[in-house]
Amino acid sequence: MPKEQINPLNTEEMERLLDASMEDDFCHMLFVTARSTGRRLGEFYGVEAKIKIGEKNIGIKTAYDIKGNKIQVARTTPVYKKTNKWRFGVKVEDINFDEGIMKVWVLKRRKFEQDETVLPKECLRLIRQYVMKHKIGLTEHLFRKYSYRQIQNKVKSFSKKAEIKKNVSFHNFRHYFISELARQGWSHDKIARVTGHKTISTLKIYDHVVAKDMKAELEEAVGNF
């Protein structure tokens, strides 16, 4: 989950954001796909490779020597340097247009593996249209027209054009997707399967969405006791 608090978008705000993005066919295609699959930006774009450049001292910990005596040793954490080289990410060949399936790379048990996600008809149409218009080859990455940071900035830019008075990030698409499934009664297990969550427990934070929707109905019911 992201470190910063997500300010959820309602359906009307999400539609305004998507409508505003239509002036950029790449952004519109990506945003609609993100809204309709709940996948992370890193799964679309890829992850930046890092190299270890050293260790950082973060304190002291207690350990034991070979004789069983307690000793104090330094606690360290690895320090990495970004390389501006990106791995994984979705290529055109990762999309099965006949079956409506897209393969994305996700981190599972400290290892990247490909996971399948369903693409609704509207996503397939936009992706096929974009690929044909820009003549993107099978082995080319589909979601790298802009840099990773530029895509994040595009979300904020189009949210402002849509006059959304909230701090919007790419993660809002994932949050919206999961919230809507929760409202429709999807279990944590089913949601995790389609969103690539490593642990089901992280989805419990979305229970408040259902609880909030039920508030008025519950108050009316209690009033009839």
209 to 2, 8, 116, 128, 215: CA distances (angstroms): 18, 10, 26, 34, 10
Give the predicted TM-score (pTM) of the model.
0.78
| β-bridge partners, 107 | 112
68 is in which domain, residue-wise? 50-84
72-126 tens-digit pLDDT: 888 888 887 878 888 999 999 999 999 999 999 988 777 888 888 889 899 999 9
Q: Cβ distance 38 to 106 under 8 Å?
A: no
| β-bridge partners, 118 | 101
Whether 38 and 57 map to the same domain: the answer is no
Whether 166 and 179 map to the same domain: the answer is yes
Instruction: Give mean pLDDT, residues 134-138.
Output: 96
Looking at residue 47, its amino acid is V
41-82 tens-digit pLDDT: 999 999 888 888 788 888 888 888 888 888 888 888 888 787
- Mean of all residue pLDDT scores within the chain: 84
Percent of the chain surpassing pLDDT 70: 84
User: What integer pLDDT is reported at residue 76 of this predicted model?
Assistant: 84
Q: Give the pLDDT band (50/70/90) at residue 2.
A: very low
Total structural domains within the chain: 2
Whether 212 and 149 map to the same domain: the answer is yes
User: What integer pLDDT is reported at residue 184 of this predicted model?
Assistant: 80
Whether 173 and 203 map to the same domain: the answer is yes
Report the alpha-carbon distance of residue 34 to residue 170 in Å, rounded. Answer: 8
Whether 147 and 201 map to the same domain: the answer is yes
User: What integer pLDDT is reported at residue 125 of this predicted model?
Assistant: 95
Q: Give the pLDDT band (50/70/90) at residue 5.
A: low
Q: Give 132: exposed, middle or buried? Use CB within 10 Å, 0-12, 13-18, 19+.
A: exposed
| β-bridge partners, 101 | 96, 118
Whether 173 and 204 map to the same domain: the answer is yes
Q: Cβ distance 84 to 48 under 8 Å?
A: yes
